[in-house]
Amino acid sequence: MRPSYRSDIDGLRAIAVLLVVAFHAFPQSVRGGFVGVDVFFVISGFLITSIICQAQRGDGFSFGTFYARRINRIFPALALVLISCAIAGWFLLFPVDYRDAGKSIGFGAAFLSNLALLRDAGYFETAAELNPLLHLWSLGVEEQFYLLWPPLLLLAWRWTHGPLLAALVVLIASFAANVALTPGHALAAFYLPVTRFWELMVGCLLAIAANAGPGRDIASIAALDALRAVFDRHEAAIRAACAWLGLLLLAAGAVLISSDRGFPGWWAALPVGGAALLIFAGPSPVVNRRLLGHRAMVYVGLISYPLYLWHWPLLAAIRIVRFGEEPPPLMKAIAILVAFALAHVTWRVIEPPFRARPSRAKTATAFAAVAAAGLAGVFIYAAGGFPSRFGPDLQAITRDFRAEAETAYRNGVCFQSARPGFAAECEDDAPADARRVVLWGDSHAAHLYPGLRALQRASGDFRISQYTAGLCPPIFGYVTERSPHCAAINAGVRERLRELRPDTLIMAAQRWRDPGAPDTEALMRATLADLRSFGIRRIVVIGRVPSWRTPPRRVLAQALRARAAGWSAQPIPQRDRTHLESDWADDNARLRALFEAEGAHFVSPTPSFCNGDGCLLSVPGTAGEPTVFDGDHLTVAGSVYFMRERAQGIFGR
């Protein structure tokens, strides 16, 4: 059940893993390096289908042997990395982050990381670069393929040309789903197996065409006889041309593709086509023989799987240690060298006992190790990341402020992601004679609701309507490629505003201008003109709150940890300036000039949060609760503090 060894395929693996590692370490320089994963998919499809075809042509395919070999190949290194992450997380991660890492370990062990990332992908999710097991999504896609494709291929084997037809049907259906989903649902297209299987099926087709045997491979299709005759006469030249073209397509994919291109979609055809051509070319062309078959490339290809597993947790670890800030190039280079060293040791020490002379005991051990790692992840998640590792003060600062905020923002009800229309509970009906206040905008309007609600409870003299949606600034007609839902949502808000004619309209957004949007400044002026025509008495625009490169809770928690460990005698800071972003204050100045020129009232959060010593890390009068839970979304306490501080400016009384 082993296909003939080809050193050039190990060289192609080397290109794939080097692209991925370079992208993860230097995303601004190697913007398209993530296409290395697509190359891996093509290789996997080719090799797995070659194994099945050769087995069927020999003594017959055995599911038990096939899956035992997959376990012996994949599980030992994976178990080592998962267990290492669980141990390292105990020392490096604060409770909420460790809890999330436990969830990632559990889903990674179950090969469901891609589906978990898609399910959990939300507006407030932890930055990807701080998730130590983010990269396991691709392993999930491959394992799901290993479960579904062999039974389907064996079923199709009963009929003439059945394997070719099955592979073509799956490829076409999957590619169509990919192209259809990518424009409006890029995240689903990226993570779902059904939109990625076509990449594996390209490799499967290559394997079937070459290895399925009489009656099933491409040689048995009479209509292709003339084409085969041309190929036979010019085989060397055709294979050489395919190798060079494949290399060119891979290079083009790495250079031209970036995360803002709408990937995978049509763009994925570049790396997939390039990998397929290089595999089709075979080991003889000079590109495959001299470049891909070079000893150094083959070595990197041989350690590519453990290198893929190790590199990302190490890069994530140094970003975590640096509070999420991008490490200097030298530090990232050292992390990559350590990843190579760990990959070599894993390849030389951990993998050989399981791959050489496999046995049921070895397979059971590998399976049990991954299962144990998964259970450990579940236990870490169920225990909330073991907050008892830290003292009460640190536990208070590192609790899950995001979950509290999402509930207070009314996430999924009055703070929506894509569905037009808002529930009845998004509008207060009583008291009937109270003035109406409408809150409209994106998440940076939603994060004002807890504070606005606290003011309402204290005064009882106004009603609140909340119309907020992720990535949708309060601009009529606003729509971008990543926010196609905004036009419909804001059109619905427009009708509600025309009907309600609130006494005060509060508008807020993080990004009023978007490079992918039309002339938003003109749309903003038109929106204000429409609002005035509705008879709305007071229009208030809230500026941007201070934006942090490192969330304040991390800065506060690290200061508390250093003080508790005796590493520092400095007091816990209440303000900081070193971890701030640089653009938010300038944006507020520009927004003030624009909106005040149009007759709106502009309220800047800057005076409430910042002074000459920096901006508030924690909310005054609380037990150290951070002002924001991520980079720029207010905690409940932060929202209450801000709205209380600026109530007079907002309501004009």
Dump the DSSP string for 399-465: S-HHHHHHHHHTBTTTEESS--S--GGGB---STTSEEEEEEESHHHHTTHHHHHHHHHHH--EEEE
Q: Which of 386, 412, 445 is the C-terminal boundary of a domain?
A: 386
Enumerate residue ranges in the chain where pLDDT < 70.
1-3, 122-127, 212-220, 222-223, 324, 514-518, 565
Distance CA(646)–CA(653), nearest Å, equals 11
Residues 472 and 332 in one domain: no
Counting the structural domains of the chain, the total is 2
Q: Looking at residue 120, what is its pLDDT?
A: 80
Closest C-alpha to 650, from 505, 462, 531: 505
- C-alpha distances (whole Å) from 22 to each of 35, 140, 292, 304 are 11, 22, 18, 13
- Residue 611's beta-bridge partner residues? 614
Collapse the DSSP code of 469 into the 3-class scheme (helix H, G, I; strand E, B; otherwise coil) and give the result: strand
Q: What are phi and psi of 603, to 5 degrees?
A: -120, 115
Residue written as token pair 């993080």: 510
Domain membership flag for residue 239: yes
- Residue 541's beta-bridge partner residues? 507, 602
Residues 184 and 50 in one domain: yes
Q: Which tokens sit at 303?
A: 């350690």
Q: Looking at residue 321, what is its pLDDT?
A: 84
Q: Looking at residue 520, what is its pLDDT?
A: 82
Distance CA(65)–CA(311), nearest Å, equals 30
Collapse the DSSP code of 168 into the 3-class scheme (helix H, G, I; strand E, B; otherwise coil) and give the result: helix
Asked whether 268 and 274 are in contact (CB, 8 A), the reply is no
Domain membership flag for residue 554: no
Domain membership flag for residue 574: no
Residues 65 and 107 in one domain: yes
Residues 404 and 366 in one domain: no
Q: Which of 331, 364, 386 is the C-terminal boundary of a domain?
A: 386
First-to-final CA distance of the chain: 80
- Residue 427's beta-bridge partner residues? 465
Domain membership flag for residue 1: no
Q: Which of 331, 351, 386 is the C-terminal boundary of a domain?
A: 386
Give the CATH number, domain containing residue 505: 3.40.50.1110
Written as one letter, the residue type at 583 is D
Residues 319 and 459 in one domain: no
Domain membership flag for residue 353: yes
Residues 19 and 142 in one domain: yes
DSSP assignment string, 65-134: HHHHHHHHHHHHHHHHHHHHHHHHHHHH--HHHHHHHHHHHHHHHTT-HHHHHHHH--TTPPPGGG-TTG
Domain membership flag for residue 142: yes
Instruction: Count other Cβ atoms within 10 Å, centred on residue 118.
Output: 16
Domain membership flag for residue 105: yes
Residues 82 and 181 in one domain: yes
Residues contacting residue 217 through CB under 8 Å, at least 6 positions apart: 164, 208, 209, 210, 211
Q: Looking at residue 219, what is its pLDDT?
A: 64
Residues 380 and 404 in one domain: no
Residues 458 and 323 in one domain: no
Asked whether 70 and 226 are in contact (CB, 8 A), the reply is no
Residues 344 and 439 in one domain: no
Distance CA(602)–CA(592), nearest Å, equals 6
Residue written as token pair 């096939």: 66
Domain membership flag for residue 394: no
> Domain residues for 437?
400-548+582-611+634-651
Residues 37 and 129 in one domain: yes
Residues 126 and 263 in one domain: yes
Distance CA(496)–CA(503), nearest Å, equals 13
Q: What are phi and psi of 502, to 5 degrees?
A: -65, 155
